Amino acid sequence: QEAAKYEKKVLVLDFVTPTPLGNSWGLGGTCVNVGCIPKKLMHQAALLGQALQDSRKYGWQFTEEVKHNWMTMTESVQNYIGSLNWGYRVSLREKNVTYENAYGEFVGPHTIKATNKRGIEKLYTAERFLIATGERPRYLGIPGDKEYCISSDDLFSLPYCPGKTLVVGASYVALECAGFLAGLGLDVTVMVRSILLRGFDQDIANKIGEYMEEHGIKFIRQFVPIKVQQIEEGTPGRLKVTAKSTTGNQVIEGEYNTVLLAIGRDACTRKIGLDKVGVKINEKTGKIPVNDEEQTNVPYIYAVGDILQDKLELTPVAIQAGRLLVQRLYAGATGKCDYLNVPTTVFTPLEYGACGYSEETAVEKFGEENIEVYHSHFWPLEWTVPSRDNNKCYAKIICNIQDKERIIGFHVLGPNAGEITQGFAAAMKCGVTKEQLDSTVGIHPVCAEVCT
């Protein structure tokens, strides 16, 4: 859309290869269809369940037993996503960007072959190319995984309630999904191979896990599934999962209605003809290395988003990188995407917002004696009346002693973590120090003031 502003002739090819279970979706990519958007809406549904409980303590009276209807929620969510798909189609049309719902692959220099749903092929040539094909969920490679398990690609449009669910994985996808499924009243178990939220601050990751466990989510640690079998067909059916310990020979079995795999995502780079044009990829991960101007090793081919090597898999990063790239190419701009201090939020039942270094990486990079960690538990005012956990919410700031106690890491665990973290990320972009933080007056009574 940015390129079209500069009156360039632009073509967008978008195609969704159906999931093993046959699921597909419209224009917009992962975030809109099977990521951020439906995830946050379902997380909201779960939060509302909690709000219903709280509201009784605040004087509200209603039906004694509260139940959740999966279909009502999913239909609403899918309707909204449909409106976004439509909105994108209209937007591209209005900006004179040609759109084809077809699978693109390189067949030679400057040439791409587009194959649509009916198998009809067309060839297109362009001066420049941008690869932004993103990723898809990884499967375990065990018997029964593709036949019986679902992934996040299927969950958000599942036409029946998933029932008793086993979530395999410890990524933020796994924990967020496990979180909202439990919040909607389902029986949820999470099977974890080793640690939670690899790459995130581990102190906080453990607090998140603890909170989830205290709120009814079961964890099976240090096990991996080795086989999934169907006991009974149905919507949902019944599945038997066999798992093996990672530390010994113990084998366990469990029965679930649904098995959700969330063990990682693989870049969609292996079947788009990159070898035909010489674009190098990391053979192991499938990701594409680029320079700081998002250029691949082939000068006229660029890449943005989840497929980039060593970059963050986040929607706003992809958007920013894409826009700036086009401004550099066509508007003479020089601004590059700033990948430093990119804030992020994990929408687990207890939300986690973070920006900058985790405590471990700060210690690794600067040395323990050169960093100062300020921290505090807090009790959101709104949790007092309904007597909810009074020592679970937590905020942590990591400062670099050698650089005027500049804030190099910000972490907050509590409600509305994303809303809180955004502003602090802006402040970190300005190089905020602990002293400036101390002299900033808090807004009362809100959770965020605990950070000042």
Partner 1 sequence: GKNEYDLLVIGGGSGGLACAKEAAQFGRKVAVLDYVDPSPQGTKWGLGGTCVNVGCIPKKLMHQAALLGNALKDAQHYGWNTSQPVHHTWSVMAQAVQNYVKSLNWGHRVQLQDKKVKYFHMKGSFSDPHTIRGLTKAGKETIVTAENIVIATGGRPKYPTHIAGALEYGITSDDLFWLKESPGKTLLVYCPFILHLSGVIVCISLTNASPDVSLECAGFLTGIGLDTTVMMRSIPLRGFDQQMASLVTEHMESHGTKFLKRCFPTKVEKLENNRLQVTWKNTDLGTEEGDSFDTVMWAVGRAPDTETLNLETVGVKTNSETGKIIVDASEATSVPHIYAVGDITEGRPELTPTAIAAGKLLARRLFGQSSELMDYDNVPTTVFTPLEYGCVGLSEEAAVQRYGSDNIEVYHAYYKPLEFTVAERDATQCYIKMVCLREREQRILGLHFIGPNAGEVIQGFALGIKCGATYTQLMKTIGIHPTCAEEITKLHITKRSGLDATVTGC
Select from 15, 36, 19 the least CA-distant residue to 80. 36
- Closest distance to partner 1 from the beta carbon of 67 (Å): 5
Q: Is 91 annotated as a binding residue?
A: no
Residue 91 Cβ vs partner 1, minimum distance, rounded to whole Å: 6
> Do 168 and 191 meet the contact criterion of CB atoms below 8 Å apart?
yes
Amino acid identity, residue 364?
A: E
> Is 82 marked as binding a ligand?
no
d(CA 134, CA 126): 21
Give the separation between CA 262 and CA 156, rounded to whole angstroms.
13
DSSP string of 317-380, one letter each residue:
HHHHHHHHHHHHHHS--------TT--EEE-SSS-EEEEE--HHHHHHHH-GGGEEEEEEEE--
- Phi first, then psi, for residue 352 (nearest 5°) are -130, 115
Phi, psi torsion values for 308, nearest 5 degrees: -75, 140
Q: What's the closest the beta carbon of residue 40 comes to partner 1, in angstroms? A: 5
312 is in an annotated binding site: no
Question: Does 411 participate in catalysis according to the annotation?
Answer: no
Amino acid occupying residue 367? G
C-alpha neighbours within 13 Å on the C-beta side of residue 24: 10
Question: For partner 1, which is the closer residue by CB, 148 or 357?
Answer: 357
Q: Is 14 annotated as a binding residue?
A: no
Toward partner 1, which CB reaches closer, 367 or 431? 431
Nearer to partner 1, 71 or 231 (CB): 71
CB of 22 to partner 1, least distance (A): 24
Nearer to partner 1, 129 or 383 (CB): 383
- Burial group, residue 174, by CB count within 10 angstroms (0-12, 13-18, 19+): buried
CA distance 214 to 194: 20
**Residues 340 and 318: beta-carbon distance below 8 Å:** no
Least CB distance to partner 1 at residue 73 (A): 3
Q: Which residue has the tokens 């004087």?
A: 59
Catalytic pick from 68, 110, 375, 444? 444
> What is the number of residues in the chain?
452
41 is in an annotated binding site: no
**Alpha-carbon 239 to chain mean position:** 27
CB atoms within 10 A of CB 156: 21
Tokens of 368: 């323990």
Q: Is 354 exposed, middle or buried (0-12, 13-18, 19+ CB in 10 A)?
A: buried
Does the annotation list 175 as a binding residue? yes
In the complex with partner 1, the residue whose CB is nearer, 192 or 342, is 342
CB nearer partner 1, residue 183 or residue 209: 183
Least separation in angstroms between CB 439 and partner 1: 6
Residue with tokens 């790239």: 325
Identify which of residues 266 and 419 has a Cβ nearer to partner 1 in the complex.
419
In whole angstroms, the minimum distance from the beta carbon of 449 to partner 1 comes to: 6
- Contact between 133 and 106 under an 8 Å Cβ cutoff? The reply is no
40 belongs to an annotated ligand binding site = yes
Say whether 346 sits in a helix, a strand or coil. strand
The whole-angstrom separation of Cα 219 and Cα 42 is 21
Sorted by sequence, the CB contacts under 8 Å of residue 51 that are 6+ apart come out as: none
Q: Packing angle between helix 70-94 and helix 36-57, nearest 10 degrees?
A: 140
174 is in an annotated binding site: yes
Q: Which residues are annotated as a binding site for FAD?
A: 40, 104, 306
**Residues assigned a catalytic role:** 444
